[in-house]
């Protein structure tokens, strides 16, 4: 890419076009990763869904293509079969998961908004993956409480991806640690929160960034101190600690 003002401008707009979130400080480097390693290997259905989502006014919420690729790799490495996703939006990470799971794999997917899920559903159906998904509309927290009360879900999930209301992340963790199996993995998305976790107290942060920042900081601290898990914070996308339950 040309290293001039116009080139820089193009990089920035291509960045925004895909609605991505990256902690990389160089737009050119991020674009290089996407164009060299991610887009050439992105399944056609994910590309189609990414392009549909790019037109959505809230496209910034979507999981980025490099993170989608990472999730897919992780799920295959751990041979995940039974998974959960909290925060579906139009379904990009859901589709990445559905593609990575075996034919009899299952995803319990929760979101308070069915409309956005239905925007991406035709792509998931066309790819022949809808049978793997059990979509439940509504807030996740009471649904998790119900599952814990029920008893039969304890220690049953191989992988859980959390990408919804950050102010509940710690509440989710308290429940999910019972639902994920020993040896299973939980990933909490956006836990470097646009780099704001290291912003000075007087930094000019957007209101929503400032609001959720404290919850993200609290979660990161709690995860680091939790002896029931091993953790590895990855600066992929907006930061995702991989938490492997050990007890
Ligand atoms: C960042 S987006 C998820 C992005 C998605 N993983 C993807 O790949 O596009 C967050 C989603 O969480 C949902 N959400 C917000 N609060 C929720 C709650 N209490 N329970 C379940 N979902 C919630 C929103 O409706 C939104 O679709």
pLDDT attached to residue 21: 59
Measured at the CA of 82, the angle between CA 77 and CA 83, to 5 degrees, comes to 80
Domain ranges of the chain: 59-245
* 186 C-beta closer than 6 A to ligand 1: no
* CATH architecture entry for 59-245: 3-Layer(aba) Sandwich (3.40)
11 burial class (0-12, 13-18, 19+ CB within 10 angstroms)?
middle
pLDDT attached to residue 14: 45
* 164 C-beta closer than 6 A to ligand 1: yes
Distance, in Å, from the CA atom of 122 to the CA atom of 99, rounded to the nearest integer, reads 15
Distance, in Å, from the CA atom of 34 to the CA atom of 177, rounded to the nearest integer, reads 33
Q: Residue whose CA is closest, atom 9 of ligand 1?
A: 62
Q: Answer for the pair 57, 89: CB distance below 8 angstroms, yes or no.
A: no
The atom of ligand 1 lying closest to the CA of 139 is: 20
* 93 C-beta closer than 6 A to ligand 1: yes
* 87 C-beta closer than 6 A to ligand 1: yes
Q: Residue whose CA is closest, atom 22 of ligand 1?
A: 111
Q: What is the crossing angle of helices 92-100 and 44-54, to 10°? A: 170
Pocket test for ligand 1, best of 88, 139, 147, 240 (most atoms within 8 A of CB): 88
CA of 54 to the centre of ligand 1 (A): 16
* 92 C-beta closer than 6 A to ligand 1: yes
pLDDT attached to residue 25: 80
H/E run at residue 214:
helix 207-225
* 237 C-beta closer than 6 A to ligand 1: no
* 171 C-beta closer than 6 A to ligand 1: no
* 113 C-beta closer than 6 A to ligand 1: yes
* 215 C-beta closer than 6 A to ligand 1: no
Predicted confidence pLDDT, tens digits, the chain (247 residues)? 333 344 444 444 444 444 445 788 888 999 999 999 999 999 999 999 999 999 999 999 999 999 999 999 999 999 999 999 999 999 999 999 999 999 999 999 999 999 999 999 999 999 999 999 999 999 999 999 999 999 999 999 999 999 999 999 999 999 999 999 999 999 999 999 999 999 998 999 999 999 999 999 999 999 999 999 999 999 999 999 999 999 9
* 61 C-beta closer than 6 A to ligand 1: yes
pLDDT attached to residue 24: 84
């Amino acid at each position: 890419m040309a290293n001039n003002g116009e080139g820089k401008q193009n990089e920035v707009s291509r960045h925004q076009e895909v609605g991505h979130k990256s902690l990389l400080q160089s737009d050119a480097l991020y674009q290089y990763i996407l164009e060299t390693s991610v887009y050439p290997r992105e399944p056609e259905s994910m590309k189609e869904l990414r392009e549909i989502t790019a037109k959505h006014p809230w496209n910034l919420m979507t999981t980025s293509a490099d993170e989608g690729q990472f999730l897919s790799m992780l799920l295959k490495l751990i041979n995940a079969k039974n998974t959960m996703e909290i925060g579906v939006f139009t379904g990009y990470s859901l589709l990445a998961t559905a593609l990575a799971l075996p034919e009899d794999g299952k995803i319990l997917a929760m979101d308070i908004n069915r409309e956005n899920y239905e925007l991406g559903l035709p792509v998931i159906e066309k790819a022949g993956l809808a049978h793997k998904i059990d979509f439940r509309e509504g807030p996740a927290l009471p649904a998790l409480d119900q599952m814990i009360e029920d008893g039969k879900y304890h220690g049953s999930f191989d992988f859980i991806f959390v990408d919804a209301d950050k102010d509940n992340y710690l509440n989710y963790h308290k429940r999910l640690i019972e639902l994920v199996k020993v040896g299973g993995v939980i990933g909490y998305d956006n836990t470097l929160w646009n780099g704001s976790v290291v912003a000075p107290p007087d930094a000019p942060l957007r209101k929503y960034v400032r609001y959720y920042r404290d919850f993200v900081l609290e979660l990161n601290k709690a995860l680091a101190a939790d002896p029931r898990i091993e953790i590895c914070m990855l600066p992929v996308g907006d930061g995702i600690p991989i938490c492997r339950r050990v007890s």
